[in-house]
């Protein structure tokens, strides 16, 4: 079924304008400021002057609605897929936490079963957050499962997952870390750094060898010091390195978000949720990554007070980014265009003729009023 969206507002080159969009065979056929008469065999959608943005892409999400995707079930992945769609995310990376090899392989198998049959947002691949992380910056990662790079293990993971692995977060300073970067980049994987105690020099070397992304920037890594600038300074200095930002009002001060934007611009910053299964549920007690996690006032923490992922959604993150002073056009790029580009998803992330019709309609409070995935209205 084809769609015709009328009275939609889009942001183009920083300017909001009213358009009509024709969607045919899953793709955007035409974008025009002219009126189009109603077409046969076409569903008409009146956007009522609401904002229409490209579907958002979450490169880092663990769970939602009481389901943790590391439980190894297809149900958990489908629940997250649906919650993503409800909150404006049309593509996501199924994201692991550090675990046993057996648990990781189980999650990969479940992902393979679901992909192509998603009930909501599309699976764009898998993000392995660990297990090759530094215990000194473990954050909420379970120390029991942290280990040094093991290439026999990686061979088994890739044998099971194939090209589904799109991003891997590592600590490059660990023994074998640089070799792991080479291993991953040869397989066209985005190598990200976090849960790392890397010095400025170690981080610089990692970037020279092929690492190109920072997971949840500023969190689970050394602070910037004027005599020991560390990983973050090396990343900010390197124009080729992109950064994840958890914009939830907790993980990053608004001033830091504005600084990241000022230095990197919207083409090198990615909004992400890093959400656990409390997303969409709220306060309470959970088990995540083998830890007891308490969520109070929407903030997830371990028993010792360590932050443990977030409960933010992509549409709320987009709103906060704008509230904190990032231009809306840039915030949209950070939520949609930039993550798609980093993952090499060249037909999504923008509202352009010929692109896949992954679109999200928002009211003036950034509530999602409609999600369209592959040209089909999600319900």
Distance CA 208, CA 211 (A): 7
**Which residue in 58, 68, 274, 330 is the catalytic one?**
274
Cβ atoms within 10 Å of 117's Cβ, excluding its own: 10
The yes-or-no answer on residue 274 being catalytic is yes
Q: Which CA distances in Å does 318 have to 17, 178, 254? A: 19, 35, 13
CA 279 to chain centre: 14
Distance CA 215, CA 191 (A): 10
Residue 56 phi/psi, 5-degree rounding, is -80, 155
Buried b (16+ CB within 10 A) or exposed e, 215-233: bbbbbbbbeeeeeebbbbb
Listed residue (369, 318, 314, 350) closest to 21, CA to CA: 350
* Chain position carrying tokens 């903030």: 299
Q: Are 269 and 235 in contact (CB under 8 A)?
A: no
Positions marked active-site: 274
């Amino acid at each position: 079924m084809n769609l015709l969206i009328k009275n939609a507002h889009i942001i183009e080159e920083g300017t909001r304008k009213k358009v009509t969009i024709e969607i045919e065979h899953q793709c955007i056929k035409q974008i025009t400021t002219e009126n189009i008469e109603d077409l046969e065999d076409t569903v008409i959608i009146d956007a009522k002057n609401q904002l229409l943005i490209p579907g958002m892409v979450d490169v880092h999400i663990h769970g939602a609605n009481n389901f943790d995707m590391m439980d190894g079930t297809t149900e958990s992945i489908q629940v997250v897929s649906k919650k993503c769609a409800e909150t404006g995310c049309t593509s996501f990376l199924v994201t692991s936490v550090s675990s046993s090899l057996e648990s990781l392989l189980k999650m990969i198998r479940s992902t393979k079963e679901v992909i192509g049959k998603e009930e909501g947002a599309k699976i764009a691949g898998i993000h392995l957050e660990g297990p090759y992380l530094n215990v000194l910056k473990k954050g909420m990662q379970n120390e029991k499962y942290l280990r040094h790079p093991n290439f026999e293990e990686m061979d088994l993971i890739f044998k099971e997952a194939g090209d589904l692995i799109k991003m891997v977060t590592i600590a490059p300073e660990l023994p074998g870390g640089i070799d792991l970067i080479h291993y991953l980049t040869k397989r066209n994987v985005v190598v990200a750094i976090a849960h790392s105690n890397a010095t400025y020099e170690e981080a610089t070397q990692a970037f020279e060898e092929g690492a190109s992304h920072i997971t949840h920037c500023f969190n689970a890594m050394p602070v910037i010091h004027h005599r020991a600038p560390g990983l973050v300074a090396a990343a900010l200095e390197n124009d080729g390195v992109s950064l994840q930002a958890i914009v939830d009002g907790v993980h990053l001060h608004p001033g830091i978000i504005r600084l990241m934007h000022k230095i990197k611009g919207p083409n090198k910053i990615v909004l992400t949720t890093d959400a656990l299964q409390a997303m969409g549920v709220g306060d309470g007690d959970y088990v995540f990554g083998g830890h007891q996690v308490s969520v109070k006032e929407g903030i997830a923490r371990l028993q010792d007070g360590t932050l443990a992922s977030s409960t933010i959604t992509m549409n709320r993150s987009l709103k906060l980014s704008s509230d904190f002073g990032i231009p809306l056009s840039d915030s949209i790029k950070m939520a949609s265009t930039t993550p798609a580009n980093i993952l090499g998803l060249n037909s999504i992330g923008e509202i352009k003729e010929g692109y896949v019709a992954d679109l999200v309609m928002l009211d003036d409070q950034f509530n999602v009023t409609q999600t369209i995935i592959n040209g089909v209205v999600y319900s």
